[in-house]
Amino acid sequence: MSRRDLVGATLSFPALALFALFAIYPGLRVFYLSLFDYSLTSPATFVGLENFRFLATDPRFHEALLNSLFYTVGTYLPALVLALMLAMALHRRMAGGGWIRLLYFLPVATSWVAISVVWRLVLHPHGLLNQTLGLDVTWLTSSAAAPWALVIMSVWKETGFFLILFLAGLSRLPREVFEAAQVDGAGAWRRFWHITFPLLKPVTAICSVMAIIRGLQAFSPQVVLTDGGFGTEVVNLFVYKTAFENARMGRASAVAVFMFFVLICVTLAQLRLFRREDA
């Protein structure tokens, strides 16, 4: 190791130490706790895989998984498609383009809690959404509507995040390819489908991985808007209630471990899918 490397390693030590203390250790501790029955107040009792067995047959956990899945697909599929469409429209230079991008990004920069509080008013039976659309839907107090209410709000909030990523990707595409295709008579749709979309695959891969992670880690809007009622108790909210309201730390840790592996598997599958199609 050169002296320069040594200095670099030394300088990185404080950050690594903090990371180990506040990220690696708690993470490992969760794995450990998932094998115990632990309520904070009494010594942890080793139960092996009992927490996982319980979850495998727990209807409430199954419902939370389905709710998370619905929220993730319902929110992030439209958000990604919308973001790509908007990016295609906005990446060309146009008057006020910067302002329009900023407007789309504003919800991303605002906290989930603040946005959720505002949307509580929007989604009230006599709120803006019903009045504007002439509807009579009780968005937050019905199992049929509440999951959709969260999806609508989240699509509105999250589209801007992916818009920025797609815009960054589009700005790096080589112009000459598009010019050549245009000269060859390729229309706008063919240019998008055969050139833009394939070239954007690395960005799309990142966006889809982030979308799945963000979707499965959702928590704040469900807490603020419905507190998990009416079919909106997602996995992270289930973990929170299990751990901190019901003091079942072992069971909550088991869910966290399970979701860790789910996320790892889904992410690897996504990356592999994009890599294979890319090859």
Partner 1 sequence: MPRYRHYRRLSVIAATLVVGAGMTAACGGGDGGGGDGASTGTVKLSFWTHTHPPMIDLNKKLIAEYEKSHPNVKIEYQTIPNTEFGTKMLTSLSTGAGPDIINMDDNALRGEYIPKNLLAPVDPAGFGKSSAAEIEGGYVPGTLDGAKDAKGTLYGVPSEFNGTAFAINKKHFKDAGLDPSKPPKTWREVVEYGKALNKAGHKQAFNFLYLHSGWYSQWFQTLANQTGGSILSEDGKTPALQSPGTKAAMNLWVELARTSGIADPKTSSRDATAPYQDLASGTQSMAIVYPWAMEQIQQSNPDTYADLAVVPLPQADPAKPVSRVYGYFWAVNNASKQKTEAWKFISYLASQHDRWLSDVSFVQPVTDWQSSEPAKKTPFIDVIAAAYAQGRYDQVGPHWNEVQDVIRKAVDEAVFDGRPVDDVLKEADESVRRSIG
Q: Find the binding residues for partner 1 in span 10-29 (CB under 8 A).
A: 10-11, 13-15, 17-18, 21-22
Asked if 185 interacts with partner 1 (CB under 8 A), we say: no
Say if strands 45-46 and 36-37 run parallel, antiparallel, or are unpaired.
antiparallel
Name which of 202 and 229 has its Cβ closer to partner 1.
229
Q: Find the binding residues for partner 1 in span 231-250 (CB under 8 A).
A: 241, 244-248
Closest-CA residue to 49 (of 250, 240, 277, 186): 250
Name which of 3 and 93 has its Cβ closer to partner 1.
3
Size of the site for partner 1 (CB under 8 A): 35
Q: CB of 174: closest distance to partner 1 in angstroms?
A: 41
Asked if 43 interacts with partner 1 (CB under 8 A), we say: no
Gap between the Cα atoms of 64 and 264, Å rounded = 19
Gap between the Cα atoms of 108 and 160, Å rounded = 6
The kind and range of the H/E element at 6 are: helix 3-19
Structure tokens at 113: 């809690």
Q: Find the binding residues for partner 1 in span 75-94 (CB under 8 A).
A: none
Angle at which helix 59-90 crosses helix 146-171, to 10 degrees, equals: 40
Asked if 111 interacts with partner 1 (CB under 8 A), we say: no
Structure tokens at 2: 């050169």
Which residues here bind partner 1, judged by CB under 8 A? 3-4, 7, 10-11, 13-15, 17-18, 21-22, 39-42, 58-60, 125-126, 138, 141-144, 227, 229-230, 241, 244-248
